[in-house]
Structure 1
Amino acid sequence: MGFFTRLRGKEIFLVGIKGTGMASLACLLSQFGAHVQGSDVPEQFSTDAVLAAANIAWIGTFSAEALPLDTDMVIHSAAYDTTVCPQLVHAIGLGLPVYSYPAFLAEISSTVRAFGVAGTHGKTTTTGCLDWILRNTGLPFFPIYGSHIQGETIGRKPNGDEIAILESCEYRDHFLSYRLQGVLVTTIEHDHPDWFADVQQTLDSFKRLVIGLPQDAFVVCGIDSEYSRNLARWIQTTRPELSLTTFGTNPSSMFRICGHEDGPQESSYSLAPLAGYYHTRLASVPLCLDIVGAAIFASSLVLRESGLPVDLETLVSDPVLPALLGEAASFPGCAGRLETILEDGGVVYVDDYAHHPTEISTSLASLRATYPEQRLVTIFFPHTVSRTRTFFDGFAAALRQADVLVVRPVYASARHDGNMEDGSAIAGELAAAAGGHFIAHEETLVTDVAKLLHPGDVCITMGAGNNSGLARRIADVRRS
């Protein structure tokens, strides 16, 4: 019996159900036969449409009285404190099983064969690509990640519930509680400065993740970043019994991307030591690396489940890797990751989650490759005061790649690492440093951006703040 089979018919209540990971989990639980509902703030997010498409109801209050009497289990976003949130305090008082989102993933990983996708950047796109290319392998897998495939409002019902593919986040060391049998590391860079003081602390967390792997585990590691190369070298000396496969553009990569060329519809590349050329709908080398990493990881999983060795010789000689690279050519990307929301009045509207300088540079480079002759008008919604302050110079340099820049006040996230005055002040400083405009009020932003857009422009809503519906509102004002 798989993990979710035992939850069929159970009444499960999700607190903070509109978080991206939580909404995906809610849909998955519902697809496997659980009765799901939840609570969250009334503010509209992109996940409102996801929950509505899955016929999952939610309430806009966290009051204890609103917790349904027949609840069998409660799962909550890690943003909510079990000693403060009334529904969680009440659920614990009733003796109900209560899990945070990371704790529930940890429970899954202790019950089924679980494999993780980790790394500072690219986790969601890589996990989404795994979801896409593993569908025709026959493996009884299910993915849990903070998005879904573009064009699939809630995602396809998984093949089964015996193998978990988990997007595994390093924030607050959450991924250290997962019991994984294999892990993909995309890249390692300093992020989450409210938790990691510097990049060395970030790297140490990834090392602890690898230390916790069993002896027969496999690791696939991108080595284009300095600290992921450091991790790969450390694995070779400290955990030599693990099966390690590296990839990247770095000359020492076991699988090396070369000959990469971006086109208006797709990119092409070769992957030494394999023969031939491969294709992806995602532009830019970093996004191509996400696809390649996913294909190598998926191939390693297929080989393992088939009882074959997971090593370089087998990955090169077996037909599974070229076949999965072929499957990846049609991967359309994940919702909220360089997603075209609409085209209206000669303007293309794109939504993107990039919220770190490296991610912003990657996204803008990808858009520049896709729209080489068009003006990139970027509306940036910074996420957390601590991140904006720590990486201020990097943000300014990355955002200068936009042709026109508008910066919003820093998003008031659940991390509570700065007040509204701090968020507005530092966002204004960032706009000035990057040669952009700071607009504090959303209604003013919608009106002003609608006026400055021209046919042929690409309008990008970018960041980890709540940009839900912003593109359509701007388009509506332009039409009026």
Structure 2
Amino acid sequence: MNIDSIKKVYFVGIGGIGMSALARFFKQRGVEVNGYDKTETDLTRQLVQEEIGVTYTDSETELKKEVDVVIYTPAIPQDNVILNWYRANNYPVYKRSDALQWITESMFAITVAGTHGKTTISTMIGHILRDSGYGCNAFLGGISVNYNTNYWSSDNAVAVIEADEYDRSFLKLKPDVAVLTAMDADHLDIYGTPEAVQEAYIQYTANIKPNGTLIKKHGLKQGAQLKGAHKKSYSLQNTGADAYADNIQMKNGSYIFDVKGNGIFMTDVHLNIGGMHNVENCIAAIAVAKQLEIEDEAIKSAVANFKGVKRRFEYIVKNDKIVYIDDYAHHPEELAALIKSAKTLFSKRRIVIAFQPHLFTRTRDFATEFAHALDMADEIILLDIYPARELPIEGVDAAMIKSKMGNPNVTILSKEGLMSYVTNAPLDLFITAGAGDIDKLVAPIGKILSEK
């Protein structure tokens, strides 16, 4: 499919974070854009304000018949009326990953894949390229706080794309620069085994364009099998990497550090967002910027004014009495990094975390690992599992995680129970975490805690 030939496009699942970025891309190119989603959200309301048509009724009477191409997300149920109508009437129907493939084939593409960190790293890269004047088209899996959007455009034919491993979608991308952050097991409902997950990441690197570059986290499993004409590595502090941080200092929830490595020597980099894992994410983004030969001072200036990604170690309330952090963490490794970072930054505060597990299959597969990560907090509140696309699995619930925990200070609450708890409990460091609909509680919790 030649993207220049598309004049009218319809998105099934337009409100998704990745789908909405694509919708904005086509709209910016002068294409007529319409779509369907199940529920109205802040994001879909923004799309409507941008003159993108959105319907919330899954009916053939609501769809647009004059379209050149239909793009859907794999999260859409198989019984979706609109999608099945387009298929039955022989419209050209493609996955979101197909559209991203067209973009990577038509632009210089920087893609970021891995079990953790890809949203923050891709947003950091996009921000550095935009802030420095280099320019890029950014397709992000989160909302950049700097620009309050998950997409922006540029006349420069460069694309920064978050590469999603769910449904093996990222295997269609053709990057010039590929970043790989981690190869940990996840989405075992799709892949089956951890080995199959690793094999998919190896294949992701095999799709790098000729003479392209792989920038990978130092010390990855199966690292020797990863492809790419040029290979570079990054690390938080391992001096064997081609880029790493040194002389890290913490100051008021921010970090100051040097970047060293193969041909890199950058001093006094200021990162004003929390989380030691974000220092490592920043090293990856800087490694990409150096690959593009962006000036050191422009990189440092961009990093200093980077405000982060919504729901990625996001400070909702931060004052002398209370710190409230919200995070998208939904994998045990992400939860562990979140809690460790909070403990390091605020060592004298008592950490209470409210966690909403995401997916029955992920809870079943990683219940023990979730328990170990959550045990690091002082007090834990578990919400019911957010099912997303899944049906319940017998015996799999929040109590499954609780039964494996060593920390006795754990309670299972409803959302209403959590709001009552926040209203009445003495808190000085509170965290909400999860990829489900816990995000709808963030604003009311923030209001309660800021008024305490």
Residues 442, 56 of structure 1: CA spacing in aligned structure 2 closer, same or farther, 3 A cutoff? Answer: farther
| Equivalent residue number for residue 215 of structure 2 | 220
Q: Is 1:445 aligned with 2:446?
A: no
1:395 & 1:219 partners in 2: Cα distance? 31
1:148-188 Cα shifts (integer Å, max 9, x gaps): 21143225742236222111122232211112222011122
Residues 430, 379 of structure 1: CA spacing in aligned structure 2 closer, same or farther, 3 A cutoff? Answer: farther
Residue in structure 1 matching 2:310, options 309, 316, 335: 335
| Equivalent residue number for residue 307 of structure 1 | none
Residues 445, 49 of structure 1: CA spacing in aligned structure 2 closer, same or farther, 3 A cutoff? Answer: farther
2:36 & 2:80 partners in 1: Cα distance? 11
Contact conserved, 2:135 with 2:154, CA < 8 A, in 1? yes
Contact conserved, 2:132 with 2:298, CA < 8 A, in 1? no
1:252-297 Cα shifts (integer Å, max 9, x gaps): 2122322222221420122224153322113343211111111111
Note the 1:28-427 alignment, pairs <5 A.
Answer: 28-42=25-39, 45=41, 47-48=43-44, 50-51=46-47, 54=50, 56-81=52-77, 84-154=79-149, 157-160=152-155, 162-223=157-218, 225-227=219-221, 230-231=222-223, 233-235=224-226, 239=227, 242-248=229-235, 249-273=237-261, 274-300=265-291, 302-303=292-293, 320-321=295-296, 323-342=298-317, 347-414=322-389, 416=390, 418-419=392-393, 422-426=396-400
SS of 1:62's equivalent in the other structure is coil
Residues 206, 251 of structure 1: CA spacing in aligned structure 2 closer, same or farther, 3 A cutoff? Answer: same
* Percent of matched pairs sharing the same residue: 23
Residues 137, 269 of structure 1: CA spacing in aligned structure 2 closer, same or farther, 3 A cutoff? Answer: closer
1:38-95 Cα shifts (integer Å, max 9, x gaps): 22223x65635654664545322222221124444322111125x5311011122333
SS of 2:137's equivalent in the other structure is strand
1:214-260 Cα shifts (integer Å, max 9, x gaps): 3311111111x542xx31x334xxx5x71111111223212232222
1:196 & 1:262 partners in 2: Cα distance? 39
SS of 1:355's equivalent in the other structure is coil
Deviation at 1:134, TM superposition (A): 0.2
Contact conserved, 1:261 with 1:269, CA < 8 A, in 2? yes
Contact conserved, 1:149 with 1:335, CA < 8 A, in 2? yes
Q: Which runs of 5+ in 1 are unaligned?
A: 304-318
Contact conserved, 1:23 with 1:50, CA < 8 A, in 2? no
Residues 321, 94 of structure 1: CA spacing in aligned structure 2 closer, same or farther, 3 A cutoff? Answer: farther
Contact conserved, 1:385 with 1:426, CA < 8 A, in 2? no
Residues 259, 100 of structure 1: CA spacing in aligned structure 2 closer, same or farther, 3 A cutoff? Answer: same
Q: Which moved more, 1:66-75 or 1:400-409?
A: 66-75
Contact conserved, 2:266 with 2:296, CA < 8 A, in 1? no
2:21 & 2:355 partners in 1: Cα distance? 25
Name the aligned partner's letter for residue 400 of structure 2.
I
Name the aligned partner's letter for residue 460 of structure 1.
I
Q: Is 1:471 aligned with 2:442?
A: yes
1:388 & 1:20 partners in 2: Cα distance? 23
Q: Is 1:458 aligned with 2:445?
A: no
Residues 63, 432 of structure 1: CA spacing in aligned structure 2 closer, same or farther, 3 A cutoff? Answer: farther
Residues 139, 251 of structure 1: CA spacing in aligned structure 2 closer, same or farther, 3 A cutoff? Answer: closer
Name the aligned partner's letter for residue 421 of structure 2.
D
Deviation at 1:431, TM superposition (A): 7.0
Q: Which runs of 5+ in 2 are unaligned?
A: none
Deviation at 1:430, TM superposition (A): 5.9
Name the aligned partner's letter for residue 279 of structure 1.
H
Q: What is the RMSD of the two structures over their aligned residues, measured on CA atoms?
A: 2.9
1:5 & 1:349 partners in 2: Cα distance? 46
Name the aligned partner's letter for residue 10 of structure 2.
F
Name the aligned partner's letter for residue 221 of structure 1.
K
1:122-148 Cα shifts (integer Å, max 9, x gaps): 000000001110014544521112112
Residues 153, 431 of structure 1: CA spacing in aligned structure 2 closer, same or farther, 3 A cutoff? Answer: farther
Residues 285, 338 of structure 1: CA spacing in aligned structure 2 closer, same or farther, 3 A cutoff? Answer: closer
2:393 & 2:101 partners in 1: Cα distance? 33
2:188 & 2:63 partners in 1: Cα distance? 35
- TM-score, normalising length from structure 2? 0.88
Name the aligned partner's letter for residue 216 of structure 1.
N
Deviation at 1:298, TM superposition (A): 2.5
Residues 213, 475 of structure 1: CA spacing in aligned structure 2 closer, same or farther, 3 A cutoff? Answer: closer
